């Protein structure tokens, strides 16, 4: 069974081919031009998806050595995400399925992130806890089976990646800010400022990063920190301060993510934690997650970078699993920007 998977929910146009549960090709075109606006501009994202969808799909088929008539199904994301962006991949996927006379499968983007840990070996086995941390989402889910999810907690305000991006902006760094904070933090002292760790009430698995972000803002105002455009600060002492602030902020986010993921595994009685989403590329999160899990006899899974950020491979993997169990979608399925996992 050969499936094409399409992802266009934000700023990545991506397509992948999965045959019998094995990934044959994954092609992603990232829209780098959003960095000049300091964030994703929805209308520009949809237009770029329109320009790129055909070449990206064709390249994925070519790399996989598969022709359109070899396909047994097409899967595409229908939410959550930016409505105009989703509509491009969704309409394209549905039209392709209709034209080829094969089934169409609509995929939940958050379910796809969970499946990004089921692409390469070693894979977690059910049940496991999934932590998805991206620019738009921060979610802890108990994954009981391929399509059986209990939402354990999610963010009440900013997503973890959004907090990284907003703090980076305050520090005068570029967009997306997560990788830059990660880079500068490597040279910094995480104990310079003890920013608040928003654990919320005892035992809570919910997240909230907006207070932490505000507390960075107040610290910068109080100390009169003046970022230079592009993040280049003239003096050496300012460079040191920037690194220390990045490390201190990052340590607060990582403490909370690691603490809650471990607590979720403990509360659910499972031994495996799978991390996904763009923020799972963070080097400190990866290190601390492994360290904390090893101390408690837990196993951590984090996909390779290509599958951490948005990609077609995770969509094709959900599509394959659904089609195999006989689940298909109507061609009337439409975009749902606020689609939830349940």
Containing 249, the helix (H) or strand (E) segment is helix 236-268
Q: Is 154 in the site for ligand KG4 (CB under 6 A)?
A: no
Query: What is the distance between the alpha carbons of residues 311 and 304, in angstroms, rounded to a whole number?
Result: 12
**Which neighbouring-strand residues pair with 30?**
12
Count of chain residues binding ligand KG4 (CB under 6 A): 19
Q: Is 105 in the site for ligand KG4 (CB under 6 A)?
A: no
Containing 315, the helix (H) or strand (E) segment is helix 312-324
Output the smallest distance, CB 271 to ligand KG4, in A. 26
Q: Is 310 in the site for Zn ion (CB under 5 A)?
A: yes
Q: Is 111 in the site for ligand KG4 (CB under 6 A)?
A: no
281 binds, among Zn ion, ligand KG4, none (CB under 5 to 8 A by kind): ligand KG4
Q: Is 208 in the site for Zn ion (CB under 5 A)?
A: no
Q: How many CA atoms lie within 13 A of 2 on its CB side?
A: 13
119-148 binders of ligand KG4 (CB under 6 A): 134-136
Q: Is 309 in the site for ligand KG4 (CB under 6 A)?
A: yes
Query: What is the distance between the alpha carbons of residues 72 and 128, in angstroms, rounded to a whole number?
Result: 30
| Contact present, 137 and 153 (Cβ < 8 Å) | no
Output the smallest distance, CB 112 to Zn ion, in A. 8
Q: Is 310 in the site for ligand KG4 (CB under 6 A)?
A: yes
Containing 26, the helix (H) or strand (E) segment is strand 22-30
Query: What is the distance between the alpha carbons of residues 199 and 55, in angstroms, rounded to a whole number?
Result: 45
Q: Is 89 in the site for ligand KG4 (CB under 6 A)?
A: no
39 binds, among ligand KG4, Zn ion, none (CB under 5 to 8 A by kind): none
Q: Give the nearer residue to ligand KG4 in terms of CB position, either 5 or 135.
A: 135
190 binds, among ligand KG4, Zn ion, none (CB under 5 to 8 A by kind): none
Q: How far is CA 165 from each of CA 35, 135, 283, rounded to the nearest angstrom?
A: 11, 8, 16
Q: Give the nearer residue to ligand KG4 in terms of CB position, either 24 or 253.
A: 253
String marking each residue 159-178 x if it binds ligand KG4 according to CB under 6 A: --x--xx----------xxx
Backbone angles phi, psi at 192, to 5 degrees: -60, -50
Query: What is the distance between the alpha carbons of residues 239 and 130, in angstroms, rounded to a whole number?
Result: 36
154 binds, among Zn ion, ligand KG4, none (CB under 5 to 8 A by kind): none
Output the smallest distance, CB 167 to ligand KG4, in A. 10
Spatial CA neighbour of 282 closest among 201, 176, 206, 189:
176
**Residue selected from 7, 158, 182, 244 as contacting ligand KG4 according to rule CB under 6 A:** 182
Q: Is 277 in the site for ligand KG4 (CB under 6 A)?
A: yes
Contacts 24+ apart (CB under 8 A), 126-129: 127/268, 127/270, 128/270, 128/272, 128/273, 128/274, 128/301, 129/261, 129/264, 129/265, 129/268, 129/270, 129/272, 129/273, 129/274
Which residues are CB-neighbours of 253 under 8 A, at least 6 positions away? Answer: 160, 163, 164, 209, 212, 285
188 binds, among ligand KG4, Zn ion, none (CB under 5 to 8 A by kind): none
What is the Cα gyration radius of the chain?
20
String marking each residue 120-139 x if it binds Zn ion according to CB under 5 A: --------------x-----
String marking each residue 31-70 x if it binds ligand KG4 according to CB under 6 A: ----------------------------------------
Q: Give the nearer residue to ligand KG4 in terms of CB position, either 149 or 164.
A: 164
Interface residues with Zn ion (CB under 5 A) are 134, 310
């Amino acid at each position: 069974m050969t499936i094409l998977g399409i992802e266009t929910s934000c700023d990545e146009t991506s397509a992948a081919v999965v045959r019998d549960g094995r990934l044959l090709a994954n092609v992603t075109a990232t829209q780098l031009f959003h960095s000049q606006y300091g964030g994703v501009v929805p209308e520009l994202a949809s237009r770029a998806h329109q320009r790129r969808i055909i070449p990206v799909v064709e390249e994925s088929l070519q790399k996989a050595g598969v022709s359109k008539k070899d396909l047994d199904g097409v899967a595409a994301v229908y939410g959550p995400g930016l409505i105009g962006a989703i509509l491009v991949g969704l309409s394209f996927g549905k039209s392709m399925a209709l034209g080829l006379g094969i089934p169409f499968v609509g995929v939940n983007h958050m379910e796809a992130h969970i499946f990004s840990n089921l692409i390469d070996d070693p894979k977690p086995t059910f049940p496991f806890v999934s932590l998805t941390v991206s620019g738009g989402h921060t979610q802890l889910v108990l994954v009981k089976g391929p399509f059986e999810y209990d939402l354990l907690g999610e963010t009440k305000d900013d997503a973890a990646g959004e907090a990284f991006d907003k703090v980076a902006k305050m520090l005068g760094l570029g967009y997306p800010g997560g990788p830059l904070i990660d880079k500068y933090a490597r040279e910094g002292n995480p104990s310079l400022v003890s920013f608040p760790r928003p654990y919320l009430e005892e035992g809570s698995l919910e997240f909230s990063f907006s207070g932490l972000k505000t507390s960075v803002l107040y610290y910068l105002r109080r100390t009169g920190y003046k970022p230079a455009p592009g993040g280049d600060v003239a003096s050496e002492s300012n460079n040191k301060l920037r690194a220390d602030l990045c490390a201190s902020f990052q340590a607060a986010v990582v403490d909370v993510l690691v603490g809650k993921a471990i607590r979720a595994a403990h509360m659910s009685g499972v031994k495996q934690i799978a991390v996904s989403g763009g923020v799972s590329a963070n080097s400190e999160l990866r290190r601390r997650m492994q360290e904390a899990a090893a101390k408690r006899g837990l196993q951590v899974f984090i996909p390779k970078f290509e599958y951490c950020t948005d990609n077609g491979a995770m969509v094709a993997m959900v599509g394959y699993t659904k089609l195999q169990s006989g689940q298909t979608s109507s061609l009337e399925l439409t975009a749902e920007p606020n689609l939830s996992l349940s």
